[in-house]
Structures are given as C-alpha cells and as structure tokens.
C-alpha cells in the first residue's frame, strides 16, 4: 500500500515484490505518521470493530426510539 503525506508529499511504500508478485506488507488501519514531517495521516477506511460498534449503537438508538414512541402514545 502506498501512503502519500498530504502535507509534504512524501510516499511511504512498504510493499515487497517476491517472485514478481506484489505482497502488501502494511495497511493503514489505525493511521500513521509521515517519516519526513511527522504529519499524522488518517486511515482510508474504518476498522471492522468500529463499524460494528456504530451499527450496534444505531440499532439500540432505533430500539429506544420505538420504546419512547410507544410510551408517549400510551400516556395520551
């Protein structure tokens, strides 16, 4: 994976070619710092556990919303 720094344009490339086959050795899951300027480079996509947590939070939010709707309609 090639990572390009937004600030200085430095390219971080940690992939290797073994028997003419490109082997990706590093993926930017958590973010990384540029070796030249020290700028933090954000990850391209979210980690699986963060995606799962966001989905779970949204499901719980919808469930609570439905419970509140039932409670409000029952009181009137």
Residues 40 and 50 in one domain: no
Residues 37 and 1 in one domain: yes
Contacts (Cβ under 8 Å, ≥6 apart) of 24: 1, 15
Residues 40 and 66 in one domain: no
Mean pLDDT of the chain: 83
Residues 23 and 59 in one domain: no
Residues 8 and 31 in one domain: yes
Residues 54-59, mean pLDDT to the nearest whole number: 95
Comparing 11 with 23, the larger pLDDT belongs to 11
Q: What is the pLDDT of residue 25?
A: 66
Beta carbons of 33 and 69 less than 8 angstroms apart: no
Residues 55 and 32 in one domain: no
Q: What is the pLDDT of residue 44?
A: 78
Residues 37 and 59 in one domain: no
Domain count, the chain: 2
């Amino acid at each position: 994976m090639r990572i390009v720094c937004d600030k200085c344009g430095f390219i971080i490339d940690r992939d290797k070619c073994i028997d003419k086959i490109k082997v990706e050795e590093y993926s930017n899951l958590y973010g990384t710092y540029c070796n030249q300027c020290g700028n933090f480079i954000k990850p391209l996509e979210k980690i699986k556990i963060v995606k799962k947590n966001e989905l779970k939070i949204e499901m719980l939010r919808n469930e609570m919303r439905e419970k509140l709707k039932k409670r409000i309609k029952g009181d009137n």
